[in-house]
Structure 1
Amino acid sequence: MVSGVQMLAFVGVVLLAAMAPGPDFIIVTRHAAVSGRRAGIATGLGIASGVFVWAVVAALGVASLLAASAIAFTIVKLVGAAYLAYLGIKALIGAWRRGETLTATTQLSTVRPWVAFRQGLITNLLNPKCAVFFVALMPQFLSGTSPRLDQTLLLSALAVMVTAIWFTVLANLVGLLKRFFTSAKVRRVMDTVTGTILVAFGIKIATD
């Protein structure tokens, strides 16, 4: 049985991990700033769904196989890096196009909630560091060599709840500034900065 103290400790560790600047943080911030709170929240829920998957497979020992297999880990790492680079390049191309057609009536494209959710989910699932994180974390809070299903689901649910709450708060805070970010000039800067960061994260993951 997972005690209350263990649950609080688990929640604290997951919250700190979620708050750490990384691809998840950047993509939620970008969608909330450009497309509004709904898109930001949808992105956060996609990330939380990815967290649930990693928490469950880590508890079941599947993720440990990924962490132990150099080939599998490298494949996930390179695919994830390529996806982040794709999102970053896409943002940079958007910034470049806006730079050429910058007018007061420029129509700014937004991301639909479902697309934002999917991008959040894929970004998290293709981040091999999430697998390593939960492989190291979950066994510390599960009793016995064969953890019970209720313990696994409880901790997984807590991880999802903490992640979803944090990114919902973040999306709402950033979403309050949506009017500022819908300026064509500001949007161009936003796309350039976030695109560059996403490409940098992709390179970092690929070469880590």
Structure 2
Amino acid sequence: MTTAQVLAFGGVVALGAMSPGPDFAVVVRRSALAGRAHGVAAALGVAAGVFAWAIAAATGVAALVTMTSVAFTVIKVVGAGYLVYLGVNALRSAWRSHDVRSEAIAERTTGSSLWGSFRAGLLCNTLNPKAAIFFVALLPQFLPADAGLIPMLALSLIAVVITAAWFLTVANLVAAARRVFSRPATRRLIGGVSGTVLIGFGVRLAFTTTR
């Protein structure tokens, strides 16, 4: 791989990471309502999911998923259901929270530990077959047919680093403005908007096709 190819690959991955989607909604919600550590954990979960899909695409597993209708449908349905689940929980939390203390209790009851935030980011990405389509279409353009393990790992790690850098930046920027989000009305607004967005992404994912 040439330097130009690596830079081009990094640019495409960066554009994909910055595109608004469920990963972004999850990281913003965790950062705004639960704090910096939770936002960072969610961002690292998303990055871990990207690494999994990049390796799957490099080894041909992701291509098998996109070509096998049953596997693609199962991942799509489970992923859509998970996004709707996250969205419904966010809406319920928004409607029943009257102050910061009750909001914190609601967050704890929905599993908002650091592991829960990491898991939310990880599952949000790995249960999205659109990520498989993205990497299946992208990697062959930068890897020769006889590419060995080192180039595969190199591109996968580049994808992880870029994704992590973007979402860690988002998490820290949102967390820095958390004083604004500490107002009960603002927290309810964030919960309501993020919940609606996640449900919308879930419904859209349910109708995703490989074509």
TM category (shorter chain) comes to: over 0.9
Structure 2 counterparts to residues 57-68 of structure 1, below 5 A: 57-68=56-67
Q: Aligned pair 1:194/2:190, yes or no?
A: no
Q: Find the counterpart in structure 2 of residue 135 from structure 1.
A: 136
Q: Find the counterpart in structure 2 of residue 120 from structure 1.
A: 121
**C-alpha deviation, 1:108, in angstroms:** 2.4
If the length of structure 2 is used for normalisation, what is the TM-score?
0.92
Q: Aligned pair 1:108/2:108, yes or no?
A: no
Q: Find the counterpart in structure 2 of residue 8 from structure 1.
A: 7
Q: Aligned pair 1:42/2:41, yes or no?
A: yes
The one-letter code matched in structure 1 to 2:119 is R
Q: Find the counterpart in structure 1 of residue 173 from structure 2.
A: 173
For this pair of structures, how many residues does the alignment match? Answer: 203
Q: Is the 8 A contact 1:59 1:147 kept in 2?
A: no
The one-letter code matched in structure 2 to 1:133 is F
Measure, in 2, the Cα distance between the counterparts of 1:34 and 1:95.
Answer: 11
Measure, in 2, the Cα distance between the counterparts of 1:103 and 1:50.
Answer: 34
Uncovered stretches (5+) of structure 1, i.e. residues with no partner: none
The one-letter code matched in structure 2 to 1:66 is V
**C-alpha deviation, 1:112, in angstroms:** 2.5
If the length of structure 1 is used for normalisation, what is the TM-score?
0.94
The one-letter code matched in structure 1 to 2:123 is I
**RMSD of aligned Cα (Å):** 1.3
Poorly superposed stretches of 4+, deviation over 6 Å: none
Q: For residues 3-54 of structure 1, what are the alpha-carbon distances to aligned partners after superposition, in whole Å with 9 as ceiling and x for unaligned?
A: 1111100100000000000000110011111111111111111000010010
**C-alpha deviation, 1:177, in angstroms:** 1.1
Uncovered stretches (5+) of structure 2, i.e. residues with no partner: none
The one-letter code matched in structure 1 to 2:162 is V
Q: Find the counterpart in structure 2 of residue 148 from structure 1.
A: 148
Q: Find the counterpart in structure 2 of residue 83 from structure 1.
A: 82
Measure, in 1, the Cα distance between the counterparts of 2:122 and 2:37.
Answer: 15
Paired-residue identity, %? 48
Q: Find the counterpart in structure 1 of residue 96 from structure 2.
A: 97
Structure 1 residue matching 2:94: 3-state secondary structure? helix
Structure 2 residue matching 1:129: 3-state secondary structure? helix
Q: Is the 8 A contact 2:43 2:118 kept in 1?
A: yes
Q: Aligned pair 1:203/2:203, yes or no?
A: yes
Measure, in 2, the Cα distance between the counterparts of 1:105 and 1:46.
Answer: 27
**C-alpha deviation, 1:115, in angstroms:** 1.1
